[in-house]
Amino acid sequence: MTSSVSLNTHGFTAANYWLGVARAPRLHLSSHQTTSLTLVRQKKTSSQCCQNPPTLDPVYGKGQVVEDYGGLKAYITGSPESKLAIILISDVFGYEAPLLRNLADKVSTSGYFVLVPDFFHGDPATLEIAENSIDEWLKKHNIPKGFEEAKQVIAVLKERGFSAIGAAGFCWGGMVVVELAKYDYINAAVSIHPGPLTHDDISEVKCPISILGAETDPFSPPEVIKQFAEILSSKPEVHSHVKIYPGTEHGWSVSYDVNDKQAVEKAEEVQKDMLDWFVKYVK
């Protein structure tokens, strides 16, 4: 567990459209705060999360796409004979992102059956959506809906005999993973450069969790990630690990230039940390 100093909570006011739409029922904002949040939305909708969308490829990867896994289309890879499963929950760009599928293939080589479900039902965000209609998109693809659909996928995995299940999520998916971690649905969670989370979200976590954050991130700034570390350190019954990666920006783990050696190394570092967490707790 990484400890940290006490910091203020002003980072949550920079939570932009994620909190404004996907988690609105949990906020209590003054009229001034609401106005400020609207301005932040306008400035952030095409920021780090959405400025470099991947070129989606429905046939990419060593695995295969199945039409129905717990009600969702999904990319699956690894041996179905394994008793250990990992779910990777994408950012807003969805399950066809090649670098995400490449990560799934890498994780499967450690003996896991890996799924990357299509939580957006063929409607991932695009740069145009991010710039013009992200609010409407998030109303359709909100965190509670993702949570409920993830539970259905997990139920099918358990029905098929998987004895231990882990879940990792990126940005939007990182928020869904934290929701799962509040209950007994999974054996371990990894939330990587998550969308905005609250102190209450983290205090409710019950399963082993690793939160891996970027040095530059408007959605979960380092000072907020450090607050999460403090909350988790006060819960010795919950095994946890919190890390901030120098020189990284939101999305770096699955959105990087494969020809940039430094970017690849930074992505591989966080991917290894994710896998190490699963090796420790999903067994």
pLDDT surpasses 60 at 45 = no
Residue 226 has a pLDDT of 98
* Tokens of residue 154, six digits: 């997990």
CA distance 225 to 227: 5
Domain ranges of the chain: 10-281
The per-residue pLDDT of the chain, averaged, comes to 86
Residue 53 has a pLDDT of 78
The total of other beta-carbon atoms located within 10 Å of residue 192's CB is: 30
Report phi then psi at 216, rounded to 5.
Answer: -120, 110
CA distance 222 to 118: 29
Share of the chain above pLDDT 70, in %: 82
Least confident of 38-47, 123-132, 193-202, 253-262: 38-47
CA distance 97 to 56: 5
Q: Is 106 helix (H, G, I), strand (E, B) or coil?
A: helix
pLDDT surpasses 60 at 97 = yes
In the sheet that 72-77 helps form, which strands lie side by side, from edge to edge?
Answer: 64-69, 72-77, 113-117, 84-89, 164-170, 188-192, 209-216, 240-249
Q: What share of the chain is helix, strand, coil (3-state, %, to 5)?
A: 40, 20, 40
| pLDDT confidence band for 130 (50 / 70 / 90) | confident
pLDDT surpasses 60 at 21 = no
Dump the DSSP string for 5-51.
----SGGGGG-HHIIIIITGGG----HHHHHHHHHHHHHHTTSTTTS
| pLDDT confidence band for 50 (50 / 70 / 90) | low
Residue 49 has a pLDDT of 60
CA distance 37 to 164: 40
Can you tell me the mean pLDDT for 144-172? Answer: 98
Residue 242 DSSP code:
E
Residue 70 has a pLDDT of 98
User: Under 8 Å CB-to-CB from 44, ≥6 apart: which residues?
Assistant: 14, 16, 17, 218
- Higher-pLDDT residue of 33, 221: 221
pLDDT surpasses 70 at 256 = yes
pLDDT surpasses 50 at 274 = yes
| pLDDT confidence band for 183 (50 / 70 / 90) | very high
CATH topology of domain 10-281: Rossmann fold (3.40.50)
Which burial class, exposed, middle or buried, applies to 145 when counting CB atoms under 10 A from its CB (0-12, 13-18, 19+)? middle
| pLDDT confidence band for 55 (50 / 70 / 90) | confident
Predicted confidence (pLDDT) per residue in 205-218, tens digit: 999 999 999 999 99
What does DSSP say about strands 64-69 and 72-77: parallel, antiparallel, or unpaired? Answer: antiparallel
- Higher-pLDDT residue of 9, 210: 210
Can you tell me the mean pLDDT for 47-73? Answer: 84
Residue type, 221: P
The total of other beta-carbon atoms located within 10 Å of residue 209's CB is: 27
Residue 60 near residue 95 (C-beta atoms within 8 A): no
Residue 48 has a pLDDT of 52
